[in-house]
Chains A and B, each alone.
Chain A
């Protein structure tokens, strides 16, 4: 047999086996029984058995149109768990994160602070910044930032009187007023007295402006300023501890503005008008009209998409000689402007973020993308050409370049993002002793072909079956976000497949079909709610407080995925105004697909030992791989 025909037979074999085995995927998704390794996460416990149990994947059906997700029926007879509403014990002190600190100083004193270079990095919990660490560097930075910032402030504009005419009454009024805004609660009398004593002492030694600036230094270094403190009220609501009025004002403000409360919020807190769902909703609706809400949305998306990776991003000089920090910066601006537009000027929907046929470009970035007709440095709305398979956020260069290697695209990272950050399924990290290296650049193979080899290794195939077939859908885009039809003179194959999801299993071809699939998934919408939970509370949602995700997802779905309504729903939820304990209120009934899914993806579902069909599938992949290699050699 000639090598070529031999290879073709192999390919045919592999295709046949693949189609047979694909039909068996239904059982692959079921929870493994018996010898599960102990659950390792300490808090919250994650049960592997909570992996979606739906046998939905019908494999590559020929009649399954990629834009119509295969519907998922909940397994019959399975009880629907009632979501619990118990708030876990958490830290009561959260240091302002870099961005919160920056916004707070700006709103209080009108000064900008370069927090990225002055403050140590924040800690992260599930991808979102949480101010946890304390250090000497931090305390030193607070001191020097306070001194430098306050030196630039015009006291005449800050004080209720001219600084030249300052008297004790003016000083005390200011201490009470500015004290409230820095401590985010009214000062106790002892605190007023102490600040006043500091003022008088330094005024007698130096002068009034020096003394008043020192008072400001003190406020800005006080733990009541640096930490968001939530202690709750001694009176309890059911078994739960409620936040006090000022704590609610702060939480509202830091979640919706990533900054400090304004006077209206303080007034509402003082009058006890932040207690009911209606009162909070009223404030929240006002707050999201304020441009400061954009800060929050930028902050959320920046963390979700890991946009900080664009800072100082470098790519291989050899592969991408024209990529530079200016383009990286443009990529971030494109995404920010696009998000701003969709959320604040457009319909605000997650669906639109994922499937919009337009973006924002300037000339430099348009040239980078190979899109004609854009001139000048200003970003403007540009309709995306149909030839480039571009649609929505996931086809913007920011996402594509961040989730890529330095010298080639990375189907793994792109697939992992979708799996983890859009479906909220966390696959096991790679085993300790496995090479994590991207395959060598082989000029004769496409990226896809090089990465296919992952799946021929049994120790990798389990998890990579859950990642790579999604990531391959992005193969029309290189590591710096440019569209390509060919790679190494081979046609791009951007066919992909979704496995082990609740409602979008099945094949797709390219980013347009992928985006449409994702935009129609309830699992994606619920995941988005869970991300907002993590962002807002600084912790992961647990089975014990699943009521939040359940209730808010219902609202989010009812509002057709409007993110502005999601922001409102997050803060209006009863859990938002409570600190800890179990909420007395029963949770609304919900239909099955909303049952909180905190599944950790079980890669062993795909391990060869689980199922003979997986072996066959792998065998077919191996055949295909050998065939491709042979074809290449004979070519």
Chain B
């Protein structure tokens, strides 16, 4: 059931298979592919900083060589931008990992709360204080589509690989201040949500009508309750209401179509067993690439573990947890070598993902060309906990907006400029800042 390849036509014929999302139901647009392709934003996260010495390329902007960690990206060099010298400059409460994780894609200070981090003098926190870039862009895409009378599928898809718990260390995507979006850990479940379920057209139509009626009533209850509540309770109910309305919206299906292939998942394995970390990660990347190529969504993210990840990379012959090693001094050759291997391994995963997007043809180009895939990390370097020099790498030009194939060094700038650049790349040109209001404007260098 979880096997096999769908052609686009099969997907459309099966009507999606209703699952939860009903992404292809019912007004499928079987017309010729459009000339202008949708833009996509994909976030990719790995933890605990890098080893800068082996991450920073040699050479200059246009003529550069990867060292060990980014070597796996050699084949995609012309579609890549190495973004050096960008840091998380927000202050506020929280320890290094908390701030790193919460600020990475939101560009703002964390909110105060009662979660204490690993630092004596750092004030306790609750969650990030701003929407993350992916959610902002997802909102933008949705509003734009609605303004133009188009229907789109899933707002965004958040996938994780063995992300445990729910706290500020484990969440990078936010719908708004204090509103974290949990990633989905289970590729089999995601598959079923996207492509499982009812195939019979009549049953599907009935299900759609029933769901709509049910959700209308749920919305009435939410509305009534919301109006009675204040403060945080009200904010949560508003968010709840938004989510239920979003489910209802998607019952009407999507106008977007594209050619794509569903992944082959094979026999189900234990999703949370650490030994399966690489396999589950691959399944999630397959799912993500498919969802992007099939236009199930335009916005997605993949979070490998979480900040302070202590995954033991036994498949690389490493016996100590990632975070434990990341604290070791530079003189510990074994730790440094292991960290290089770990980061190189993540580069291979990133390469795998962009390769999948590159293989989806779109007009004369590829889906990767119409995307921007940003790889970030909550720290610059593990043992110093610095949030300067986050090892950002971007792939894809967002439909020709960015000039790729370059190694850019910004010196020591706030990464907020990068987040603003992404808004512009995705078409949201009105955005002059992202997160902190002090950092106005975008990174001109990225466009050429």
Chain A residues packing against B (C-beta within 8 Å): 37, 40-43, 91-93, 117-118, 120-125, 132-140, 143-144, 191, 194-195, 198, 201-202, 205-206, 210, 214, 217-218, 221-224, 229, 231, 311-312, 314, 316-318, 406-407, 428-438, 540
Contacts and interface: CB of A to CB of B under 8 A. Distances in A.
A121 B164 contact: yes
B20 A134 contact: no
A611 B91 CA distance: 35
Contacts of A143: 20, 211, 247
Contact of A437 (B229, B324, B385): B324
Contacts of A37: 120-121
Interface residues of B, number: 74
Contact of A206 (B112, B186, B206, B274): B206
Interface class of chain A by DSSP? loop
A117 B189 CA distance: 9
A198 B328 CA distance: 63
B243 A40 contact: no
Contacts of A217: 210, 214
Nearest to B246: A136
Contact of A318 (B118, B189, B240, B319): B319
Interface stretch (B6-14, B175-183, B364-372): B175-183
Given A133-B166, A135-B180, A229 B225 contact: yes
A223 B206 contact: no
Given A43-B114, A144-B193, A436-B323, 16 more contacts: A42-B114, A124-B165, A124-B166, A134-B179, A137-B184, A143-B211, A143-B247, A206-B210, A214-B213, A221-B215, A231-B228, A429-B118, A436-B324, A437-B320, A437-B325, A438-B324
Interface in B144-175: 155, 158, 164-167, 175
Contact of B112 (A42, A124, A428, A435): A42
Interface in B104-158: 112-114, 116-124, 155, 158
B222 interface: yes
A406 B312 contact: yes
B95 interface: yes
B275 interface: yes
Given A121-B164, A223-B237, A431-B118, A195 B243 contact: no
B26 to A, nearest CB: 17
Shortest 10 CB-CB contacts between residues of A and residues of B = A120-B182, A437-B324, A432-B119, A139-B243, A429-B118, A435-B327, A136-B243, A121-B166, A222-B221, A218-B214
B240 A139 contact: yes
A432 B122 CA distance: 9
B124 A134 contact: no
Contacts of B193: 140, 144
B384 interface: yes
Contacts of B233: 91-93
B236 A134 contact: yes
Contact of B221 (A121, A223, A434): A223
Contacts of B166: 120-124, 133
A193 B124 CA distance: 47
Contacts of B124: 40-42
A198 B181 CA distance: 32
B126 to A, nearest CB: 9
Nearest to B20: A140
A48 to B, nearest CB: 12
Contact of A135 (B95, B181, B221, B273): B181
Contacts of A43: 114
5 contacts: A40-B116, A121-B166, A134-B240, A214-B210, A314-B274
Contacts of B312: 406
A540 B164 CA distance: 23
B28 interface: no
Contacts of A438: 324
B328 A312 contact: no
B118 A430 contact: yes
Contacts of B270: 312
Contacts of B429: none
B222 to A, nearest CB: 5
B319 A407 contact: yes
